[in-house]
Amino acid sequence: MITNKHYLALDYDKILEILESFVACPDAKEMALDLQPQTSLKGAERLLQETLDAHMLLAKYGGPSFGGLVNVNNKMYIAATGGVLSMGELLSVGSTLRAIRGLSDWYSSCEGVETSLSPYFYSMTPQRYLEERIFTSILSEDRMADNASAELKDIRRSLRNQEMKIRNQLDRIIHSSNYATVLQDAIVTMRNSRYVVPVKREHKNEIAGIVQDTSDSGATVFIEPMSVVEANNEIRVLLGKEREEIEKILADLSEQAGAIYNETKQSYESGIYLDLVFAKAQMAYSMKAAAPLLNATGIIDLREARHPLIDPKKVVKTNIRLGEEFDTLVITGPNTGGKTVSIKTLGLMSLMAAAGLMLPVADHSKMCIFESVYADIGDEQSIEQSLSTFSSHITNIVDILEKANEKSLVLIDELGAGTDPVEGAALAMAVLERLHLQGAKIAATTHYAELKAYALETNRVENASCEFDINTLSPTYRLLIGAPGRSNAFAISERLGLASDVVERAKELVSEENTRFERVVESLEQSRAELESEREEADRLTLEARRAKERAEEVKASVESMREAELDKARAEAERILDKARREAAFFMDDLEKLKKERKRAADLSQVSADAKRTIRRHEDALYDITRPIAAEEVDDDYELPRDLVVGDSVIVKDLGPAMVSALPDKRGQVEVTAGILKTRVDLSRVRLDDQKRAQKARNAERKQERRRAGGRTGSSTFSTKATGKVETSVDLRGMTQEEAIMTLDRFLDLQLRYGVDSFTVIHGKGTGVLKKAVKRYLDKNNRVKSHRLGAYGEGEDGVTIVNLK
């Protein structure tokens, strides 16, 4: 727990209570409540980096679960020294092991991200075997599972058999008509761990057996019939064996737990530390906090700072600076104006940053890490010690003056208050001078006008005030650095109804020097307000200009990206077309060579000639389709459309090239066309129908009809052409002769290469194996085949061959 009175004065303990609410483990909660600020820059940077890394991991992967992580160090130490743990204690060990494994698995799923927290995750050693052994063996704190061991399972099976045997015998007794008047109730119960029946006291001699118990009233005796005595004795023996076996299992599990005591202790300590770090990150999210830039040079620049303990809906953002242009900040202004909140915000955030906590500030804020932070805030008047308000403040200031140095931050509220104003102001200036000479960074609040003048006249001392709205008689809580505060007593009194002549008389009583000073302050305040308004307008215009520039750059980048993408697509398409053209030419030459050989062997030359013509025509079509260039034709100025356009027409657009009509012309003669990913509207005068595409469609239709007239194919194989719009990846050769099968397979292989297919399946069946051997010989000799194999289970096994192409 925090005991430093200066930290308590700044409400640092309340921040730790908020942090503790985000922690899951009891030990981690204690760590949170005792979190001490670092006094070195290196230590604070290490803690803050850990919080930043946890913040990033939370954003990308969600938070890990720390549920079930409990302190079992003492229990496992007992096990390590030979002790036997109870079932409840072992369940606690299992819970911790499960939580450790969960943390390790969570980090393993984070795509190998290396952070400052990685060593803590790597130090965790999952013990899955023991974890599962515990949870499969132990069902609850007082129940061991039957499957915990084979011996226990056998013992409990025997117990159930004996119990069933006894119940059957006793059921016959209680349901017998001979004993209907003897029994108190027709039930079977237990006394002294033995099965008995309740018998009326006056009939106890009518059932032979042993009296095990008597009811409180004495009207009922519980008799163990002689017929089940031996069976009950056997149960007692089995229960003893059960206890012994459970003790044996517990001893075995305890021994295994003791063997991993050191690894589990280290894993647990890493786990609770990670719980604390991720709690810091979660608190940062709840506060919408950012990481400040830390330094050890005394510079503080808090931008849009929000006190973390004030309702986020009510808190006012403020800017606080110290240490760069000035080392002492004197804050003046009326009561309830926000002076104390300002210095508390400054002090509290310095402690939070030193403890590795992110701050509720804007980005690029700066915070110095001090070796010591001193605060004299609030009324510590003590009746018991006979100390007045003034005395208690002076006591604190004496202590601060003795300890403060150049690495200290000193915060004093209402410096010099509680005594004569003249003496109090002089004392306040003297204290500030001494602290300033000792090199401390100081922020002090006061009502004394003398301190305003002191700040104006002294080097590296600056005035500040909390803004007050005269019209609404309420503070805005904004800290204005560089402008001394005004009391506004006259204005407030007059607005509240004090007679104007009284107010005027009060003004006359104020010294001329003080009046002049207040007028200067008023003039400064007006100038500041005007400059503030101008600055806000300039900031707004700058922001708008920056956003316009960013939008322009985004549009430019998008256009460049689209241009590059279209160029890459065009290059890839050109390479694909060239590659296919080369491949088709090679296939054509191979087929010519095959036809020459076929001509030498074939008896029917007319058949060979027909095959040759079909092959030449097929390759001619393929080469035409692949190598036909798409020309971006120019549109003649005197061109007129031969007919009205319809949606889907292929057209040539001047300066754009090939496109397709996606919407009919409007009243202005603008037609919508689509070219690739671009959709735009162009004038009808720039559009002409794509005659080449229409002629090509007609030629394709004519060639398809010619193929159907020439056509057919041998056997029952089926594979698609361009007319079908898809490519089959299997060919069925069953029922063909060897020659028919090889010719069909050859044509099918050509088609697969033409369409860029990497592999296909040949179905030849099992049968006598003749077709399978012929296919293998053909594939072995074909230089376009990369490899082939028989099908595996689920693919057709020996009835198919899987072919991979080069």
Which two structure tokens, joined as six digits, stand for 348? 């509290």
Taking alpha carbons only, the member of 214, 185, 192, 210 closest to residue 201 is: 214
Place of tokens 């505060």: 485
- Is residue 235 a contact partner of residue 166, using CB atoms and an 8 Å limit? yes
pLDDT band at 722 (very low <50, low <70, confident <90, very high): very low
Which two structure tokens, joined as six digits, stand for 547? 């956003």
Which two structure tokens, joined as six digits, stand for 188? 């079977």
- Is residue 462 a contact partner of residue 348, using CB atoms and an 8 Å limit? no
Local structure of 326: helix, strand or coil: coil
How far is 652 from 639, CA to CA, in rounded Å? 12
User: Where are any strands of DSSP class E within 94-176?
Assistant: 138-140, 143-144
Which two structure tokens, joined as six digits, stand for 546? 């920056």
The mean pLDDT of 741-753, rounded to a whole number, is 85
Say if residue 62 is exposed, middle or buried (CB neighbours under 10 Å; 0-12, 13-18, 19+).
exposed
What pLDDT, on a 0 to 100 scale, did the predictor assign at position 614? 57
**What pairing do the DSSP bridges indicate for beta strands 300-305 and 293-295?**
unpaired
Which two structure tokens, joined as six digits, stand for 409? 């931050």
Residue type at position 56? M
pLDDT band at 470 (very low <50, low <70, confident <90, very high): low
- Is residue 151 a contact partner of residue 169, using CB atoms and an 8 Å limit? no
The mean pLDDT of 655-661, rounded to a whole number, is 79
How far is 336 from 342, CA to CA, in rounded Å? 11
Taking alpha carbons only, the member of 671, 669, 670 closest to residue 661 is: 671
Residue 288 clears pLDDT 80, i.e. is over it: yes
Q: Convert 549-587 to b/e letters by CB count within 10 Å (16 or more is b).
A: eeeeeeeeeeeeeeeeeeeeeeeeeeeeeeebeebbeeb
How far is 451 from 432, CA to CA, in rounded Å? 10
Which two structure tokens, joined as six digits, stand for 604? 């029917």
pLDDT band at 727 (very low <50, low <70, confident <90, very high): low
Give the angle 183-184-188 at the CA atoms, nearest 5°.
75
> Which helix or strand (DSSP H or E) is residue 2 part of?
none
Local structure of 461: helix, strand or coil: strand
- Is residue 587 a contact partner of residue 559, using CB atoms and an 8 Å limit? no
- Is residue 173 a contact partner of residue 164, using CB atoms and an 8 Å limit? no
The mean pLDDT of 85-92, rounded to a whole number, is 95
- Is residue 548 a contact partner of residue 540, using CB atoms and an 8 Å limit? no
Local structure of 463: helix, strand or coil: strand
Q: How far apart are the first and last CA of the chain?
A: 74
Q: What does each C-alpha distance from 633 to 522, 641, 646, 658 come to in angstroms?
A: 77, 15, 20, 8
What pLDDT, on a 0 to 100 scale, did the predictor assign at position 400? 94
What pLDDT, on a 0 to 100 scale, did the predictor assign at position 377? 87
The mean pLDDT of 33-39, rounded to a whole number, is 96
Q: Which residues contact 740 (CB under 8 A, 6 or more apart)?
A: 714, 715
- Is residue 373 a contact partner of residue 404, using CB atoms and an 8 Å limit? no
DSSP at 659: E
Query: Phi and psi dihedrals of 573, rounded to 5?
Result: -65, -40
Q: Which residue has the higher pLDDT, 794 or 318?
A: 318
Place of tokens 């076929």: 598
Q: Which of 123-127, 450-454, 482-486 has the lowest mean pLDDT?
A: 482-486
Residue 494 clears pLDDT 80, i.e. is over it: no
What DSSP assignment string belongs to 239-268?
A: HHHHHHHHHHHHHHHHHHHHHTHHHHHHHH
Residue 549 clears pLDDT 60, i.e. is over it: yes
pLDDT band at 188 (very low <50, low <70, confident <90, very high): confident
Taking alpha carbons only, the member of 328, 346, 344, 617 closest to residue 458 is: 328
How far is 590 from 498, CA to CA, in rounded Å? 113
Q: Which residue has the higher pLDDT, 155 or 752?
A: 155
User: Where are any strands of DSSP class E within 425-493?
Assistant: 441-446, 461-469, 474-481
% of the chain surpassing 90 pLDDT = 39
What pLDDT, on a 0 to 100 scale, did the predictor assign at position 501? 86
Is the dihedral angle over the CA atoms 633, 635, 636, 642 positive or is it negative? Answer: positive
How far is 338 from 465, CA to CA, in rounded Å? 9
What pLDDT, on a 0 to 100 scale, did the predictor assign at position 255? 95
Residue 140 clears pLDDT 80, i.e. is over it: yes
pTM tops 0.75, yes or no: no
Residue 386 clears pLDDT 50, i.e. is over it: no
The mean pLDDT of 379-407, rounded to a whole number, is 74
Which two structure tokens, joined as six digits, stand for 721? 């052409």
Q: Which residue has the higher pLDDT, 597 or 170?
A: 170
pLDDT in tens, 225-266: 888 888 888 888 999 999 999 999 999 999 999 999 999 999
**What pairing do the DSSP bridges indicate for beta strands 293-295 and 366-368?**
parallel
- Is residue 26 a contact partner of residue 71, using CB atoms and an 8 Å limit? yes
What pLDDT, on a 0 to 100 scale, did the predictor assign at position 212? 86
Dihedral-angle region of residue 286 (phi above 0 means left; psi in -120 to 50 means alpha; beta otherwise)? alpha
What pLDDT, on a 0 to 100 scale, did the predictor assign at position 526? 61
Dihedral-angle region of residue 715 (phi above 0 means left; psi in -120 to 50 means alpha; beta otherwise)? left
Local structure of 58: helix, strand or coil: helix
Q: Which residue has the higher pLDDT, 353 or 200?
A: 353
480 pairs with which residues across the strands?
465
Q: Which residue has the higher pLDDT, 131 or 465?
A: 131
- Is residue 117 a contact partner of residue 277, using CB atoms and an 8 Å limit? yes
pLDDT in tens, 662-714: 888 888 889 898 876 677 888 888 888 876 666 555 555 555 555 555 444 43
Residue 133 clears pLDDT 70, i.e. is over it: yes
How far is 139 from 489, CA to CA, in rounded Å? 75
Four-CA torsion 511, 517, 521, 526, nearest 10 degrees? 80
The mean pLDDT of 73-95, rounded to a whole number, is 95
Average pLDDT, the chain: 83
pLDDT in tens, 266-286: 999 999 999 999 999 999 999
The mean pLDDT of 296-310, rounded to a whole number, is 94
CB atoms < 10 A from the CB of 35, how many? 20
Residue type at position 194? R
293 pairs with which residues across the strands?
366
What pLDDT, on a 0 to 100 scale, did the predictor assign at position 721? 44
Q: Which residues contact 25 (CB under 8 A, 6 or more apart)?
A: 66, 69, 70, 71, 271, 272, 275
How far is 716 from 42, CA to CA, in rounded Å? 81
How far is 502 from 75, CA to CA, in rounded Å? 80
